[in-house]
Structure 1
Amino acid sequence: MTKNLHVTIDKDSGFCFGVVYAIDMAEEILEEEGYLYCLGDIVHNDEEVARLKAKGLRIIGHEDFIQLKDEKVLIRAHGEAPETYKTALENNITLIDASCPVVLKLQNRIKTSHDNDEKILIFGKHGHAEVIGLQGQTNNEALVFQDITELDNKELPASFTLYSQTTKSVSKFYEIKEELIRRGYEIKANDTICRQVSNRYEDLGDFARQYDKIVFVSGKKSSNGKVLYDVCKQANPQSYFVSDVAEIDVTQFNTNETVGICGATSTPMWLMKEVKQALEQL
């Protein structure tokens, strides 16, 4: 017997413009030349990466990049540290720079702060590609933290400049700013969070409340996906995280329920459509 689920995809979910830009660039070159190197996963979504690999995208790490010569290499939306551009010049590598404009603007602001001898703190995820690129603007001198508790036993300068990874929560950023001021530090705070991402928080909560169940589709590596999934879960406790169709648990759904599908800024629309189709066939 069919479950007769009524499934709707959130029209605001799916790739942000930075990811669309990088993927469009990659597909154009793949069509012309048959292959293209990309420094790191082009997007934090294994299914989309697999689709592009099948078209000839070759994902490489920094250790491979250093060995490469006379090739074209795509820089993804997350951006890169200055060292990468230096290596490209030395190895005659043509960089196809698809760094997100929001990230580039942030990199420039951090570099200016560093050049002005400001002490810099970055609220961001340790080891995240974007954060590595941001730290690179400061010769890796900036202090990165992903939770304020990490600063509890750290000796911080009396005054510093605070920045944020572009995909962090706006409210969390301001909570951190207020707490640091309360602790007596003099802070110059720069809200550098991408509004295309942060606007989704509010809209997503509204979307999640409209349905019996929510299926949130995202790659497990997406930090933005984790934040947005939490937003769904808070608005609707009956929210489930899946990376692909295979992870759908039939037992979680009852007959005639309404189901909302949404995803991270790194979730392709084609994948959400596949999930919708699978749910409709239950």
Structure 2
Amino acid sequence: MGAYQLQVQIDADSGFCFGVVYAIDMAEEILEQDGYLYCLGDIVHNDEEVERLKAKGLRIIDHSQLAGLHNEKVLIRAHGEAPETYRMALENNIMLIDASCPVVLKLQNRIKTSHDDNEKIVIFGKHGHAEVIGLQGQTNGEALVFQDIAELDNVELPQKFTLYSQTTKSTDKFYGIKSELLNRGYEVKANDTICRQVSNRDKDLPEFAARFDKIVFVSGKKSSNGKVLFEVCRKHNPNTYFVSAVDELSPDMFAPGDKVGISGATSTPMWLMEQVKAELERY
């Protein structure tokens, strides 16, 4: 124990969601067997975890590199992929190790069915996000994507459309958007496709955050889910710090005897939160 004697506790509900656990387990199994494995895009939005897996032989590639690859194994991460990726893999004799999250796959199927039924589709999601690109791919790129309701102010929307959401968005925001669009006179068929493992954290986190003097929120800067959950923490505990790695911590963030809670995104590995805890206990 350091001189500060901080009381530190990790949020038991934080850490990888099952989709990410599944993808990483799959990757590690093949890496052990083959010594290397290609992965399309970052396996998880956390640089520390990506580095750990790269050291074991994971090779991150993008779609243009996939086009030049033949007769190899390639992992599809939890975010899922557009139909185009599967077509390319067939042409290049690539064996796809599909670790798409089942929640994402179910959403892709629902969007594809909607599109096949000629429904106009609007998706609440982050522009350019891997999951969203996969979702838009189910509609031949015809779906309209927006990440903020203000984006729809100057857009001519069809009178009647079907609304979907990226799986990691906030449920409150989604329902707020739905009612705002109904108020504007549109006929909206809304499909709540938000992952409950993620959205339930929105509900449990406020209670966790309020129990401590300070919160250290551990997440990669690229994680959408991390940004959402960090804001939830900060709203219920203004003394919340966002850190991506142990070296971003310093003793002057804390006072002796502080009760400190550690939480993280669904893409934050538990080993990283354990490292943060060990560092804080040295203060």
The reply to whether TM is greater than 0.5 is yes
- 5+ residue gaps, structure 1, are none
Structure 2 distance, partners of 1:142, 1:251, is 48
User: What does residue 81 of structure 1 align with?
Assistant: 82
Question: Which amino acid is the alignment partner of residue 126 of structure 2?
Answer: K
User: What does residue 201 of structure 1 align with?
Assistant: 202
Structure 2 distance, partners of 1:231, 1:250, is 24
User: What does residue 44 of structure 1 align with?
Assistant: 45
Structure 1 distance, partners of 2:140, 2:162, is 16
Per-residue CA deviations over 1:32-67 (Å, capped at 9, x if unaligned) read 000000000000000000000000000000010010
User: What does residue 242 of structure 2 align with?
Assistant: 241
User: What does residue 68 of structure 2 align with?
Assistant: 67
User: What does residue 120 of structure 1 align with?
Assistant: 121
Question: Which amino acid is the alignment partner of residue 193 of structure 2?
Answer: T
Structure 1 distance, partners of 2:275, 2:246, is 7
Structure 2 distance, partners of 1:277, 1:29, is 31
Larger deviation: 7-16 or 246-255? Answer: 246-255
User: What does residue 254 of structure 1 align with?
Assistant: 255
Structure 2 distance, partners of 1:208, 1:235, is 6
User: What does residue 191 of structure 1 align with?
Assistant: 192
Shift of 1:3: 1.0
User: What does residue 27 of structure 1 align with?
Assistant: 28
User: What does residue 157 of structure 2 align with?
Assistant: 156
Map 1:204-215 → 2, pairs under 5 A: 204-215=205-216
Question: Which amino acid is the alignment partner of residue 46 of structure 1?
Answer: D
User: What does residue 4 of structure 1 align with?
Assistant: 5
Structure 1 distance, partners of 2:251, 2:121, is 48
Question: Which amino acid is the alignment partner of residue 246 of structure 2?
Answer: V
Give the alignment's TM-score, normalised by structure 2: 0.99
- Residue 20 of structure 1 aligns to a residue whose secondary structure is helix
Larger deviation: 126-135 or 1-10? Answer: 1-10
- Residue 166 of structure 1 aligns to a residue whose secondary structure is coil
User: What does residue 217 of structure 1 align with?
Assistant: 218
Give the alignment's TM-score, normalised by structure 1: 0.99
User: What does residue 231 of structure 2 align with?
Assistant: 230
Shift of 1:165: 0.1
- Residue 3 of structure 1 aligns to a residue whose secondary structure is coil
Structure 2 distance, partners of 1:202, 1:77, is 23
User: What does residue 144 of structure 2 align with?
Assistant: 143
Question: Which amino acid is the alignment partner of residue 90 of structure 1?
Answer: E
Shift of 1:172: 0.3
Per-residue CA deviations over 1:91-148 (Å, capped at 9, x if unaligned) read 0000000000000000000000000000000000000000000000000000000000
- Residue 193 of structure 1 aligns to a residue whose secondary structure is coil
- Asked whether 1:171 is paired with 2:172, we answer yes
Shift of 1:252: 1.1
Question: Which amino acid is the alignment partner of residue 221 of structure 1?
Answer: K
- Residue 71 of structure 2 aligns to a residue whose secondary structure is coil
User: What does residue 108 of structure 1 align with?
Assistant: 109
Question: Which amino acid is the alignment partner of residue 178 of structure 2?
Answer: K
Structure 2 distance, partners of 1:202, 1:137, is 31
Question: Which amino acid is the alignment partner of residue 65 of structure 2?
Answer: D
- Residue 53 of structure 2 aligns to a residue whose secondary structure is helix
Question: Which amino acid is the alignment partner of residue 122 of structure 2?
Answer: L
User: What does residue 181 of structure 2 align with?
Assistant: 180
Structure 2 distance, partners of 1:61, 1:88, is 13
Question: Which amino acid is the alignment partner of residue 228 of structure 1?
Answer: L
Shift of 1:212: 0.3
Structure 2 distance, partners of 1:41, 1:250, is 32
- Residue 188 of structure 1 aligns to a residue whose secondary structure is strand
Structure 1 distance, partners of 2:87, 2:56, is 29
Shift of 1:219: 0.3
Task: Write out the 4+ residue segments of structure 1 that deviate beyond 4 Å after TM superposition.
Answer: none
Root-mean-square deviation (CA, aligned residues, Å) is: 0.6
- 5+ residue gaps, structure 2, are none
Aligned pair count?
A: 282
Per-residue CA deviations over 1:59-93 (Å, capped at 9, x if unaligned) read 00001001000000000000000000000000000
Question: Which amino acid is the alignment partner of residue 54 of structure 2?
Answer: K
